[in-house]
Structure 1
Amino acid sequence: MEPVDLFYSYAHEDEKLRDELDGHLALLRRKGVIRPWHDRGIVPGQEWDKAIDEQLAMADLILLLVSMDFLNSDYIWGKELATAIERARRGDASVIPVLLRAVDLEDAPFAHLQGLPTDLRPVTSWPNRDEAWTDVAKGIRRAVEAIRQRWASAPPPAAPPAAPPEAPSVPRASGFGTAVASVPLPEEPVRTLEMARPAPRMAATRDARTDALLERTIAAFANELALAARIKGVQGIGSGEAEGLAEALIDMPAQKRVLWVDDRPENNRHELAALAKLQVEVVNVRSTGEAIACLDADEEGFDLILSDWDRAEPAATASSAGLELLRMLAARPRRPPVIFYHAEFDPSRRAARRECLLRAGAFGEAVRPGELLALIRSAFASD
Structure 2
Amino acid sequence: MEPVDLFYSYAHEDEKLRDELDGHLALLRRKGVIRPWHDRSIVAGQKWDEAIDAQLSTADLILLLVSMDFLNSDYIWGKELASAVARAERGDASVVPVLLRAVDIEGAPFAHLQGLPTDLRPVTSWPNRDEAWTDVAKGIRRAVEAIQQRWVSAAPAAAAAPRSSDFGATSASVAASAAEDDSWALEAAAPEGTGDAAARKHEEPDSLVRRMMAGFTNELAVAARIRGAPAMDGAEAEDTALTLIDMPEQKRLLWVDDKPEGNAHEIAALAKLQVEVVTADSTEEALTRLDADTEGFDLVLSDWSRPEALEGQPSAALRLLRALASRPRRPPLIVYHGEFDDARRTTRRDMLLRAGALGEAVAPGELLALVKTALQAR
In 1: Cα distance, 2:338 partner to 2:292 partner: 30
Equivalent positions of 1:77-96 (< 5 A) are 77-96=77-96
C-alpha offsets along residues 334-378 of structure 1, whole Å, 9 cap, x if unaligned?
A: 210101111111112111211111110111111111111111111
* Count of matched residue positions in the alignment of Structure 1 and Structure 2: 348
3-state SS of 2:62 partner: strand
What secondary structure is seen at the aligned counterpart in 1 of 2:215? helix
From the superposition, tell whether residues 108 and 126 of structure 1 become closer, same or farther in structure 2 (CA, over 3 Å).
Answer: same
Q: Which has the larger radius of gyration?
A: 1
How far apart, CA to CA, are the structure 2 residues paired with 1:288 and 1:278? 27
User: Gaps (5+ residues) in structure 1?
Assistant: 160-192
Aligned equivalents of 1:11, 1:155: Cα separation in 2: 36
1:321 aligns with 2:316: yes
For 2:158 and 2:86, how far apart are their aligned partners in 1?
26
Mapped partners of 1:314, 1:375: distance in 2 = 28
Name the aligned partner's letter for residue 157 of structure 2: P
1:65 partner amino acid: L
1:206 match: 181
Q: 1:60 to 1:342 in 2, by over 3 A?
A: same
Indicate how the Cα distance of structure 1 residues 67 and 158 shifts in structure 2: closer, same or farther if over 3 A, else same.
Answer: closer
Cα distance per residue 1:230-286 (max 9 Å; x no partner): 111111022222111110000011000000000111111100000000000000110
Cα pair 2:3 2:33 within 8 Å, conserved:
yes
| TM-score scaled by length of structure 2 | 0.90
Query: Which whole-Å deviations, capped at 9, do the CAs of 1:173-217 have from their partners, x for residues lacking one?
Result: xxxxxxxxxxxxxxxxxxxx4xx5454347344343681111111
Q: Match for 1:21: what amino acid?
A: L
Partner of 2:235: 240
Match in the other structure for 1:18:
18
Q: 2:281 aligns with which of 283, 286, 302?
A: 286
Secondary structure at 1:113 match in 2: coil
Structure 2: distance between partners of 1:32 and 1:356: 44
Q: CA RMSD in A?
A: 1.4
SS in 2 for 1:86: helix
After superposing on structure 2, the runs of 4+ consecutive aligned residues of structure 1 that deviate more than 4 Å are none
- Quick one: which amino acid aligns to residue 138 of structure 2? K
Letter in 1 for 2:181: R
Task: Give per-residue Cα distances to partners, 1:68-93, cap 9 Å, x unaligned.
Answer: 00000000000000000000000000
Separation in 2, partners of 1:158, 1:129: 40
Q: Distance between the aligned counterparts of 2:71 and 2:60, measured in 1?
A: 22
Cα deviation 1:141-174 (Å, max 9, x = unaligned): 0000100110011142378xxxxxxxxxxxxxxx
Identify the residue that residue 306 of structure 1 maps to in structure 2.
301
Code of the residue aligned with 1:83 in structure 2: it is S
Aligned residue for 2:50?
Answer: 50
Aligned counterpart in structure 1 of residue 258 of structure 2, from 260, 263, 270: 263
Give the Cα separation in 1 of the matches to 2:237 and 2:67. 36
Equivalence for 1:151: 151
Q: Structure 1 CA distance, aligned partners of 2:296 and 2:140?
A: 18
Contact in 1 for aligned 2:256/2:281 (Cα 8 Å): yes
Determine the structure 2 residue equivalent to 1:189: none
- Measure the CA separation in 1 of the matches of 2:119 and 2:368: 30
> Which AA in structure 2 matches 1:62?
I
Structure 2 residue corresponding to 1:217, chosen from 209, 212, 217: 212
Q: Is 1:71 the counterpart of 2:71 in the alignment?
A: yes
Write 1 or 2 for the structure with the bigger share of helix.
Answer: 2
Corresponding residue SS for 1:156: helix
Aligned to 2:197: none
For the pair 1:273 / 2:268, whether they are aligned, the reply is: yes
SS at match of 2:7: strand
Report sequence identity in percent.
72
Secondary structure of the residue that 1:334 maps to in structure 2?
coil
User: What is the rounded CA distance, in whole Å, between the counterparts of 1:72 and 1:158 in structure 2?
Assistant: 39
Specify the SS of the correspondent of 2:206: helix
* Aligned CA distance change for structure 1 residues 143 and 91 (closer, same or farther; 3 Å): same
Cα distance between partner residues in 1 of 2:352 and 2:233: 29
The alpha-carbon deviation at position 312 of structure 1 amounts to 1.1
Q: What CA distance in whole angstroms lies between the structure 1 residues aligned with 2:158 and 2:144?
A: 25
Unaligned regions of 5+ residues in structure 2, if any? 167-173, 185-204
1:228 matched to 2:223? The reply is yes
Report the Cα distance in structure 2 between the residues aligned to 1:68 and 1:155, rounded to whole angstroms.
Answer: 40
CA displacement, residues 91-128 of structure 1 (integer Å, 9 cap, x when unaligned)? 00000000000111111000000000000000000000
Partner of 1:171: none
- Mapped partners of 1:198, 1:309: distance in 2: 55
User: TM-score by structure 1 length?
Assistant: 0.88
**Aligned equivalents of 1:334 and 1:134: distance in 2?**
24
